[in-house]
Amino acid sequence: MSKQLWETRPLEIWGRAKALRARWQKSIDESAEQENLLLAHGNTGEVDWRESFKGLNIIEDNPVGAMMASVSDSFARKARLASEIRGWGREICGYVQNCWGVQFLGYQLDNSPFPLRDMCVPFSDPCDQHTKRGQQCMDFSPIPRWGGDWMMYLGERDPQREVEMIEERVYNTLKVIDDIERIFGIEFDDEKFVESIKAHRQVGEYALKVTQSMTNIPSPLGQKDLYSFYTLGGLTKVAPDELVDFWKSFSDELQWRIDNHIAAVGNERYRWMEAHPSPWHYLRYYRYMEQYGAVCVGSQYSHMMAGPIELKPDGTMDRREMIPRPAGTEIRTREDAVRAALTEARGHRFKDDEYFRLNAITDFAKGFKVNGALMPLYRGGVGCTLTRKEQGLQLSEIGVRVMHYEGSQPGDRTDLDERRFMDQLDTWMEGQGLRKFEE
C-alpha cells in the first residue's frame, strides 16, 4: 500500500468469529428438521428472551433476508416479486420482502421447503412498515402474532416519561412470555434468562470498548470488519459464556493494536462515518476508499451493539445512562431481568426520535473525529432514511463533509447504481482535495 504510515495486519480473532458464525448458520439450517416450534422474529430488540424457551427455535427475518440478497440477487428478486404481487409494496424493508417472499414461493434458495413459522413476535420500529411486520406469516399460516411495542419519542427527553415508557415495555414483554407459555405449553427457563441477560450486559461492556477503540487515530478496526463482528452476540446466538469470552478477546486484541500502533488502514489520513451500510453485497467500497487513505470508523447502525453511548465533555464516547441504575440492584427474577435490559437499552435508540437522531449524529462525528459522512437515502425501510437529509445538514454545519447516495435498502440491491456510487465517491474525495495514492 502506498504512503504507508502504520503497520497493518489481519485480526487474530477472525478464526473464532467464523467458527461462531458457522455454528449459528448450522442452527438455522437445522431448525426445520427439529420438532421444535419455530418463532419468526425481526431482530433481538431490547430484551433477548427467546433463547430461554425450551423447544423453541428462532429464525430472524432480518439476517435471513440480508443473506439472501447477498448470496443470490436473482433469487432475492424472485422472492420480492412474489411478495409484491400479493400487495406488499416496494417501500417495505428489503429484508422483510426477501424473507417472506420465500414463504410465498414455498421453497428456499437450496430448494428445501420453506419452514413455516408457528408464531411471530416482530419488533416494531419507527420504520412505518415495521408495524406490519409479521403480518405476512401471520396471515399465511395463520399463526399467532404479538407486537413488540416500541414507542416513538417526540420532543425533548423527560426522565419521568422514560420510566413510564420502560414500565409499559416491561409489561408488554412479560405478557408476551406469559402468553407463549400458556398457549403453546412450553416452559420458560427463568434461570437461563437471568444468566443470558447478565451475559448480554457483559458483552455490551466489551462492545463499548471495541466502539471506543475506533475513536483512536489510527483506528485499529475498520467498519467493514465491524459489520462482520457486531452480529455475533446480537443476532447470532451461541452459548452466552462463549460470547462473553469472544468479545473480551476481541476487545483485548484491539487494545493491543492501539498500544502497538497497528492500523486497520495503514495509510489512514481521512476518517468517515456512515449511518447505514450500502447493500451488503457491495462492501468493496471500503477497500476502494482505502486507495484514498480513508477508513470508515463507525456507524450508529453497528455501534448500537455497545448500548447507549454519548459524547462526554472531555471528548470521549462513553456510556449514556438516561435513567441511572440504582446502586446494588441485582437481577434475580424474570421481571428484574426484563426491566434491567430495557432500562439499559433506553437512550441509545438513535432511531427513536427526530430530536435525538440529529443530536446523536453530530456527537458521533465529534467523538469519532471524522472528516466526512456517507449517508444513504433508501427507498425501502423508511426508518433507514428518516431525517438523513437533516442529519447531513447538521453535519455540514460542524464541518463534516457529507455525501448522500441512493439505494433500495441493504437487503435489496435493485436501486444501488454501483458505477455511479463509485463516481460519486471520486467526486466526493477529489472535491476535498484528496487523490488516490497511485495517481
User: What residues line the site for another protein (CB under 8 A)?
Assistant: 377, 392-393, 396, 401-402, 404-406, 415, 417, 420, 423-424, 426-428, 430-433, 439
Q: Identify each DSSP E strand in 309-407 by its residue range.
A: 309-311, 317-319, 372-378, 401-407
Among residues 196, 188, 173, the alpha carbon closest in space to that of 55 is found at 188
**How many C-beta neighbours within 10 Å does residue 221 have?**
25
Copy the grid coordinates of residue 314. Answer: 472531555
Residues 6+ apart with CB under 8 A from 285: 278, 421, 422, 425
Closer CB to another protein, 71 or 398, in the complex? 398
Residue 273 CB, shortest distance to another protein, in Å, is: 18
Residue 293 CB, shortest distance to another protein, in Å, is: 17
Closer CB to another protein, 100 or 270, in the complex? 270
Asked if residue 346 lies in contact with residue 162, where contact means CB atoms within 8 angstroms, the answer is yes
Residue 373 CB, shortest distance to another protein, in Å, is: 13
Among residues 104, 98, 137, the alpha carbon closest in space to that of 121 is found at 137
Residue 430 CB, shortest distance to another protein, in Å, is: 4
Closer CB to another protein, 241 or 390, in the complex? 390
Closer CB to another protein, 284 or 420, in the complex? 420
Whether the CA torsion 414, 420, 424, 430 is positive or negative: it is positive
Closer CB to another protein, 169 or 388, in the complex? 388
Whether the CA torsion 67, 72, 76, 79 is positive or negative: it is negative
Copy the grid coordinates of residue 304. Answer: 448500537
Residue 416 CB, shortest distance to another protein, in Å, is: 10
Closer CB to another protein, 175 or 420, in the complex? 420
Residue 424 CB, shortest distance to another protein, in Å, is: 7
